Amino acid sequence: MILALRNFELKWKVSFAILLILRVHLFSQNVYTFPETRKVNQIDTIWGRSVYDPYRWFENTKSSETLEWLKTQKKLADTFIGSVSKNLEDYLTHYYSIDFKRVHKEGKYIFSYMYEDKDQTASLYYRTWDREPSFLFDPNKLSKTDKIDIADISISGNNNTLALTLEKMEAIGKQSDF
């Protein structure tokens, strides 16, 4: 079970990273002018088969044409990487505090969390399979000075009583107080 959970978490993190990179890439849709790449009419015969090799001239790594082409490609790549890294920095600065908690089923209910504000802890919502999520509990209403987080939930066998484990969030971690 722990291995399956770790694999799920890893897959989720990798998927999120890929989506983040794609999102940043979409932000950086600029028109780039790529260097012209000359093609030559070079045909080699390998084991009795003709193999077309239009970029044979690249094999001469000391030629001025190859060096100029590489220099232009590097300049283009640096421009692209600069724009992507700037967009990524802006994106992460804006969304740095997005946090996700697992959605899970307890009894006949499905519980989920939603962050109303990046500086607060998540509120608890519940639903059944046939209903939209409904607000249940906001730990931010418990204290105006402390950050309180929902650490765990448990529901009774008859689905009538819900128990919450709450934690007081400290500057260097969590401390269970409730």
Range with the largest mean pLDDT of 59-68, 96-105, 113-122, 169-178: 59-68
pLDDT band per the 50, 70, 90 thresholds, residue 41: very high
Residue 75 and residue 83: Cα distance in Å, rounded? 12
Task: Using alpha carbons only, give the angle 133, 9, 116 rounded to the nearest 5 degrees.
Answer: 35
Whether the pLDDT of residue 5 is over 50: the answer is no
- pTM (two decimals): 0.42
Q: Alpha carbon of 102 to those of 9, 35, 93, 95: distances in Å?
A: 10, 48, 24, 19
Q: What is the pLDDT of residues 86-139, one digit of tens each?
A: 777 777 766 665 555 678 888 888 888 887 776 778 888 988 888 888 888 889
Dihedral angle, C-alpha 12, 14, 20, 25, nearest 10 °: -140
Q: What spatial distance separates the first Cα and last Cα of the chain, rounded to whole Å?
A: 28
